[in-house]
Amino acid sequence: LTKDDVLVYTVATEETDGYLRYMDSAKEFGIKPNILGFGQEWKGGKEIRTKPGGGWKINLLKEALQKHKDESDKVVLFTDAYDVIFSNNLDEILKNFKATGAKVLFGAEPFCWPNPELAPMYPEVKDGKRFLNSGLYMGYVPELLKLLYRKSIGDDEDDQLYFTEAYLDETFRESIKMKLDHTSTLFQNLNGATSEIEIYVNESKDKKIPEKYVVKNYFTHTEPMVIHGNGFSKLTLNYLGNYVPNMWNSLEGCIKCKERTLNLANQPVKAMPLVYMAIFIEVNTPFLEEGLQKVYNLDYPKERMHLFIHNAAKYHTSLVKNFTEKYASEYLSFKQILAEDGTPEWTARDLSLDQSTAKNVDWYFSLDSIVHLDNPQTLRLLIEQNRSVVAPLLVRSGKAWSNFWGALTKDGFYARSKDYLEIVYNKKRGLWNVPFITNAYLVRASIIKRYDRSILTYNKPDTDPDMAFCRTFRELNIFLYVSNRVDFGHLINADNFDVTLAEPEMYQIFDNEMDWEARYIHEDYQNNFAPGRVDKQPCPDVYWFPIVSLRFCNSLISMMESYGKWSAGTSYDERLEGGYEAVPTRDIHMNQVGWEPHWLKFLQKYVRPLQEKVFLGYNHDPPRTSGGNFVVRYRPDDQPFLKPHHDSSTYTINIALNQVGVDYEGGGCRFIRYNCSVVDTVPGWVIMHPGQLTHWHEGLYVTKGARYIMISFVDP
Ligand SMILES: O=C(O)CCC(=O)C(=O)O
Ligand SMILES: [Fe+2]
């Protein structure tokens, strides 16, 4: 007997994700399965198999075997399709089959199903699983035909019960040498055995040859060759199927993800797929302005995109209004639900699904407000990936928090898969079949069209909308992929966003460091460290750097003015530790607006490196201050100047916050020993100078308007 004597059969009515995976695995080993029932209505009971069924599979096989009924030396391998993968070739499968001595061999499992009362009638087994599973079996044609024709079975009767009864008939069992593969030498049913299974990595010694991934049963010490993810273990099969057979390796990345893709590169605009893009602003979200701008910046023709926005956050009303007034007309259509409508999230989401169907689009693209698509190619790439559902991997910067779950607990909550962190940190890049995705995803619109809101809905009792949605996809056996083939973007952390503050994003330096930096740090800041850069030195040992953005300057002024309690400018100052300031300014301290910790972080991250660059050998990390962090306001009618003084600092930073000649006239800082003044200050640029001894200084007279500066006395 050779592999050519093995006839492989399966039943599949349509090309589901599971079917494609099954076929991919078959192709990997040159296996050519005969597909029974393809294109027909499923007759084996409920589509979502919670009830018994599957007699149809037996009847289809009987019919198919008619033409082989006299080929007594042929062997039939029957497997389910949607929840099965091959993990070895037919030669090996045949070898292991023969080694069992069976004429008909079934896979085994630890559950007696669908009739648990039959359990005591099963022969006891010392090792392995005791009960029959009908998802995987193999047998010689004559013996198998005897089994299939032992009785008749209705299409919607249960196939597993049928085979179980035959097996429990001892005389019959012996007569056809029917056995169960108790220890999974060949067939691995995962249900009830997931903890025994792990992927084993076969490293190759030659670094140019990729490693191989093998499914191992660590309980029975076998390498099973056909894997069946029945019941809840479907998710385990999805996990194994990310690697086996030959789906991914560290040299080539994901291998099958390059197949069945689309290429939009040379598509004329008119032929581009239609997209329904739905944006959900369900929470107050820092940096939403930038987030929306990145959506607008997506490299995809807007005349092929419908835009839908649900804004549930009143705080964002004017931002959304600005965005839509500016851009909405560029899209094919625009629909919005305002915060004032009070529409619940799930209703809005369901409505957007219906709308996408009404618009007859090709793809449905859902985005939450915390999503930042930094890669403008995201939508294009996701469409080109051409899967039922695919999410771009998005991670909170520097954190392990992402928009997918690698595994699930039995009750449907988060569990960490073995490869979760490797995926999140892009140690492994690819296209991953996972149980839960959220925040941003693309769905093939034909799926939404096919299942109405009684099945495909965000509204399930006691379930979060996204969990309800993903659960439905899992039940429908539609794969949820997350892709990190390239970088797509990141997630905003909206957990501690206090919109009662003036300029709330200014307080986000800890929660959303990257976004904070993008908005508030000067665009030339990094150039301060460019090799060969000559630092500006307007006066001896006074250095001058671009450090914060204009937006920062305006925001800081606005924070202070909306707080409004400027100090009296007298020497006694209850805000200070010693209570006394020799040369007082009219100012507001950072701690008065709750911004001291944020400012200290800023000093450490952005100021200290500049200081270490120009004042060599002085390395104090973190920089300290004793409350000497404040914004000064000079006004002719108020405090117009500051008399000569030393600062209680090792070095002082002095950031101009507004524009001389525009916002005010006069002003500047004069270093008396050198008779040198910095008057042409630039908003967002910092002046850094030693605090004492050599750098006795004064604040020059402001003749008009208001001059704002930010001062820090570092290391007093
Ligand atoms: O007005 C200036 O630029 C100098 C301010 C100053 O020296 C201070 O606040 O200690
Ligand atoms: Fe000073």
Is residue 194 situated within a structural domain?
no
Same domain, 370 and 474: yes
What pTM, to 2 d.p., does this model score?
0.95
CA of 645 to the centre of ligand 2 (A): 6
669 CA closest ligand 1 atom index: 3
- Ligand 1 pocket: which of 632, 648, 655, 707 to mutate (most atoms within 8 A of CB): 632
CATH of the domain at 48: 3.90.550
Same domain, 414 and 533: no
Is residue 16 packed enough to be buried (19+ CB in 10 Å), middle (13-18) or exposed (0-12)? Answer: middle
697 CA closest ligand 1 atom index: 7
Same domain, 466 and 546: no
Overall average pLDDT of the 540-554 stretch? 98
Same domain, 293 and 401: yes
Same domain, 479 and 513: no
pLDDT digits 0-9 by tens, 426-478:
999 999 999 999 999 999 999 999 999 999 999 998 899 999 999 999 999 99
Tokens for 93, please give them.
Answer: 């499968």
Is residue 381 situated within a structural domain?
yes
Q: CA-CA distance, 203 to 207, in Å (whole number)?
A: 9
CA of 557 to the centre of ligand 1 (A): 16
For 232, 287, 516, the CA distances from 657, given in Å and listed in that order, are: 60, 22, 18
CATH of the domain at 465: 3.90.550.10
- Of 491, 524, 544, which one is at a domain's C-terminal end? 491
Residue nearest ligand 1's atom 3 by CA: 669
Ligand 1 in contact with 697 (CB < 6 A)? yes
Assess whether pLDDT exceeds 60 at residue 48. no
Same domain, 362 and 467: yes
List all residues 6 or more positions away from 326 whose beta carbon is below 8 Å from its beta carbon.
none
Rounded percentage of the chain residues whose pLDDT exceeds 70: 98
Residue nearest ligand 1's atom 9 by CA: 711
Overall average pLDDT of the 127-144 stretch? 97
Q: What is the pLDDT of residue 361?
A: 98
CA of 639 to the centre of ligand 1 (A): 12
Is residue 228 situated within a structural domain?
no
Tally the domains of the chain.
Answer: 3
What separation, in Å, do the N-terminal and C-terminal C-alpha atoms of the chain show? 88
Residue nearest ligand 1's atom 2 by CA: 699
Same domain, 14 and 98: yes
Ligand 1 in contact with 632 (CB < 6 A)? yes
707 CA closest ligand 1 atom index: 1
pLDDT digits 0-9 by tens, 180-219:
999 999 999 999 999 999 999 999 898 899 999 999 999 9
- Ligand 1 pocket: which of 625, 655, 657, 669 to mutate (most atoms within 8 A of CB): 669
Ligand number with the minimum distance to the CA of 641: 1
Range of the domain at 374: 261-491
CATH of the domain at 611: 2.60.120.620
- Nearest Cα to 331, choosing from 309, 293, 304? 304
Is residue 199 situated within a structural domain?
no
ipTM: 0.98
Ligand 1 in contact with 642 (CB < 6 A)? yes
Q: What is the pLDDT of residue 49?
A: 45
Is residue 443 situated within a structural domain?
yes
Under the banding of pLDDT at 50, 70 and 90, the label for residue 45 is low
Is residue 231 situated within a structural domain?
no
Assess whether pLDDT exceeds 80 at residue 398. yes
Q: Are 434 and 406 in contact (CB under 8 A)?
A: yes
Ligand 1 in contact with 493 (CB < 6 A)? no
- Ligand 1 pocket: which of 581, 646, 709 to mutate (most atoms within 8 A of CB): 709
- Per-chain mean pLDDT for the chain: 95
Alpha helices in 85-202 (DSSP H): 90-99, 141-148, 159-168, 170-175
Same domain, 14 and 49: yes
For 171, 554, 673, the CA distances from 695, given in Å and listed in that order, are: 105, 29, 7
- Amino acid symbol at 40: Q
Same domain, 131 and 36: yes
Same domain, 587 and 509: yes
Is residue 208 situated within a structural domain?
no
> Strand order of the sheet with strand 178-181?
34-36, 6-11, 75-79, 131-140, 104-109, 178-181
Same domain, 541 and 485: no
pLDDT digits 0-9 by tens, 373-391:
999 999 999 999 999 999 9
Is residue 388 situated within a structural domain?
yes
Under the banding of pLDDT at 50, 70 and 90, the label for residue 574 is confident
Same domain, 586 and 443: no
- Of 185, 200, 225, which one is at a domain's C-terminal end? 185
- Of 461, 491, 521, which one is at a domain's C-terminal end? 491
